[in-house]
Chain A
Amino acid sequence: MSETHEASVVRENLWMKALRTAGVPLLSVVLAMIIGSIIIKASGMDPLLAWGALLKGAFGSPDKWAAGNFREFGDTIGRATPLAFAGLALAFGFRANLFNIGANGQLLLGSITAAWLGLVLAGLPGVLSIPMILIGSALAGAAWAFIPAILKAKVGAHEVITTMMFSWIGLYLTSWIIAAPLKDAAGNSQTPMLAQSVWLPTFDKILPGLFRTPVNAHLGFVIAVVLAVVVWWVLKRTTLGYGVRAVGFNQWAAQNGGISIAKTTVYALCISGALAGLAGASEVLGTNHRMFDEVSAGSGFGFTGIAVALLAKSHPVAVVFSALLFGALSAGAGMMQLTANVSDRIIMIVQALIIFFVGAETVITWFIKRRQKRALEEKGATDVA
């Protein structure tokens, strides 16, 4: 009896796990889009037309694909790239029970570093300069997370407030750098265009046979995917990752097990900052090839990264898929606005709703845990409560 029961416990877990990792997030997305549709309808516009346009804007159409034109796909991947980095940044923080809500500030510091190093290292071949720039941006992002990390570790100042403040400080700091020392001679509110040697090659350059027309997708996406696997491996297989997860789940037990809460907090938030810095670098080197002043922008990739990580339930590999979804929403928003006259802000509303529904899933997780526990109790592994 015990063996079949054990098997059924394990089987149920697998099934439940599958449901938990994919089912609930997908359900959340569907629910969010239904509510989004209601809002669109209530505003007197056509939701079907809007979502149709969005799909077209995000993925293109079969006739284009046949001609080797994957421009829309490329847009989706291009938009997904910084989101994947930012999502990894948030996810890594979440695993240590840290909410790096101000990742956008670290991202901006990464951007400005890339915009500056890109100018400085323009003379070097790309294989040398690009890794150096990426490392520089990661370090800048980590540095911007360092003070909030130290404040959290030493005096317990909550990172939600401090990283948010540093996000605003970073916004004004980069705004000043763009306006003064790194000002583009030709125009306002942007840094000079970078030399082509430091651009991250686009997919049509890497795989000209497949992508016969130019696309926005660039090498940054490949780097993000590789990094996602690396982050997963670090969390799962290294002592650093073990410490991060232990502190994230139960810092008191972790401390008792010889893991320093303060050090782990600093490492985790700085690694999170480094990943956010890479988001900024990939956007500068891969997409814009310069940095724009973002003071007027209401939000940034760093904030969308919160939704990306939450939808992925902080699993690094799932972050890539989650980023692709939000990348598609973002890439298609323009077409939606053009065709259906629906503001791209609806994407933000959908994003908020997704966070909400994924968050409310704790109730479901609790239920699943209870079922697992009950299965164990029936097996006699648990005493009378």
Chain B
Amino acid sequence: MWLSFFTPDLFASAIRMATPLALAAIGGTICERSGVVNIALEGMMLVGAFFGVVVTLATNNVLLGVGAAIVAGVLLSAIHAFASVTLRMDQVVSGTALNILALGLTGFLMEVIYGHPGATNGIQHIIGPVFNFPTGGTGVLATIWTWIDQIVFSYTPIVYLAIIIAIVAQWAMFHTRWGLRLRALGEHPRAADTVGIRVQAGRYSAVLISGALAGLAGANLTLEQVGVYSDNMTSGRGFIALAANIFGRWTPAGSYLASLLFGFAEALEIRMQSFQSVIHVPVQFFLALPYVLVVIVLAGFMGRAVGPAAVGKPYEKE
């Protein structure tokens, strides 16, 4: 029984489940490093997921769908940037409004476009895996190959893209001009200002990048995983991503690894559901597992986590 529980697919599933979390978490990291809190990651994922499906259905081109998801995330994040950077509004309030707006707008447009509430129509083909190597056969070698194939070569493009983004963002944050200035913005925006760095522009770009990444995360959910948009389908992933960012100590690589942990909890939850006849635990308990894990991680870890000093504080010039 345990052999059929811990299959290579379980670990592959963990990486798949981690992908939307990681993309949003890296977005959250970049955003918070610039000094802006983004609790609207949830809403940005939602509009990304929704418009990815809408445009794919309308154009029959899944690439355009991915592009639309990114654009939708960026547009929503532009509102957040305007509110928190230009209007100097409370960033958590702005984020809350955007989360509700995203939920309302997707639900509203769903009925306008498809005439029924609850879910959109499904897309014909979800994006398939990048590689397609033959597997099968018996023997140790075949088993090893199955594991490698499942864990390394079984993924859709955005899953690989997320890993590349994590590595590139990690490197860029600590080796490039962009990264140095970003880190300065969230720690001491006035110091950045006095050496001629444009604080507002820097924060705008960081918020927009986080919107693009959250939109891409939404595209991964609908266009690569599910194939249909259903109401409020992110189920708090935006908030889990924020926790992953904290657990990852405000670094892109850390965010990815923390997302992997939460992704594994999700994969475990799904796997356990199929073993319900054996384990005899109500399904709701599995469903709650990732959320419980987040709380435990935060409880055990928070005391030592220190975020950017100026995060959440609007910058005023004079």
A159 shortest CB reach to chain B, Å:
10
Q: Does A131 contact B (CB under 8 A)?
A: no
Complex formed: what's the CA distance from A363 to B39 in Å? 21
Q: A157-B302, A343-B112, A359-B83 are in contact. Are A179 and B284 (CB under 8 A)?
A: yes
Q: Tell me if B298 and A356 are in contact (CB < 8 A).
A: no
Q: Does B239 contact A (CB under 8 A)?
A: yes
Q: A162-B298, A168-B236, A176-B282 are in contact. Are A356 and B303 (CB under 8 A)?
A: no
Q: Tell me if A155 and B103 are in contact (CB < 8 A).
A: no
Number of A-B contacts defined by CB within 8 Å: 141
Q: Does B258 contact A (CB under 8 A)?
A: no
Produce 1/0 per residue, B79-121, CB < 8 A to A: 0000100011110111011111101110111011000010000
Which of A106-114, A232-240, A302-310, A371-379 contacts the other chain?
A302-310
Q: Does A353 contact B (CB under 8 A)?
A: yes
| Set of chain A residues within 8 Å of B94, measured between Cβ atoms | 356, 359
Complex formed: what's the CA distance from A355 to B103 in Å? 14
Complex formed: what's the CA distance from A359 to B88 in Å? 10
Produce 1/0 per residue, B239-250, CB < 8 A to A: 110110010000
| Set of chain A residues within 8 Å of B117, measured between Cβ atoms | 343, 345
Q: Tell me if B239 and A161 are in contact (CB < 8 A).
A: yes
Taking residues whose C-beta sits less than 8 angstroms from the other chain, chain B's interface range is 35 or more
Q: Tell me if B104 and A165 are in contact (CB < 8 A).
A: no
Q: Tell me if B285 and A346 are in contact (CB < 8 A).
A: no
Partner of A168, one of B103, B107, B291: B291
Q: A353-B101, A355-B96, A359-B93 are in contact. Are A173 and B239 (CB under 8 A)?
A: no
Produce 1/0 per residue, B216-242, CB < 8 A to A: 000000000000000110011001101
Kindly report which residue of chain A lies nearest to residue B300, judged by CB atoms: A155
| Set of chain B residues within 8 Å of A44, measured between Cβ atoms | 112
Partner of B232, one of A101, A162, A180, A299: A299
B224 shortest CB reach to chain A, Å:
23
| Set of chain A residues within 8 Å of B231, measured between Cβ atoms | 298
Kindly report which residue of chain A lies nearest to residue B293, judged by CB atoms: A165
Q: Tell me if A168 and B284 are in contact (CB < 8 A).
A: no
Q: Does A348 contact B (CB under 8 A)?
A: yes
Kindly report which residue of chain A lies nearest to residue B314, judged by CB atoms: A362
Q: Does A351 contact B (CB under 8 A)?
A: yes
How many interface residues does A have (CB within 8 Å)? 48
Q: A176-B285, A299-B103, A355-B100 are in contact. Are A360 and B83 (CB under 8 A)?
A: yes
Q: Does B24 contact A (CB under 8 A)?
A: no
Q: Tell me if A165 and B111 are in contact (CB < 8 A).
A: no
Produce 1/0 per residue, B251-288, CB < 8 A to A: 00000000000000000000000000000001011011
Within 8 A of B (CB), among A250-302: 298-299
Q: Tell me if A349 and B96 are in contact (CB < 8 A).
A: no
Q: Does B169 contact A (CB under 8 A)?
A: no
Q: Does B164 contact A (CB under 8 A)?
A: no
B113 shortest CB reach to chain A, Å:
9
Q: Tell me if B287 and A343 are in contact (CB < 8 A).
A: no
Complex formed: what's the CA distance from A347 to B105 in Å? 10
Q: Tell me if B285 and A172 are in contact (CB < 8 A).
A: yes
Complex formed: what's the CA distance from A158 to B242 in Å? 10
Q: Does B310 contact A (CB under 8 A)?
A: no
Q: Does A16 contact B (CB under 8 A)?
A: no
Partner of A151, one of B99, B284, B292, B298: B298
| Set of chain A residues within 8 Å of B1, measured between Cβ atoms | none
Interface residue ranges, A against B (CB under 8 Å): 39, 43-44, 99, 101, 147, 151, 154-158, 160-162, 164-169, 172-173, 175-176, 179-180, 298-299, 303, 306-307, 310, 343, 345-349, 351-353, 355-356, 359-360, 362-363
14 pairs from A and B in contact (CB 8 Å cutoff):
A99-B92, A160-B239, A161-B243, A161-B298, A173-B288, A176-B284, A179-B284, A298-B232, A345-B117, A347-B104, A348-B100, A360-B89, A362-B87, A362-B90
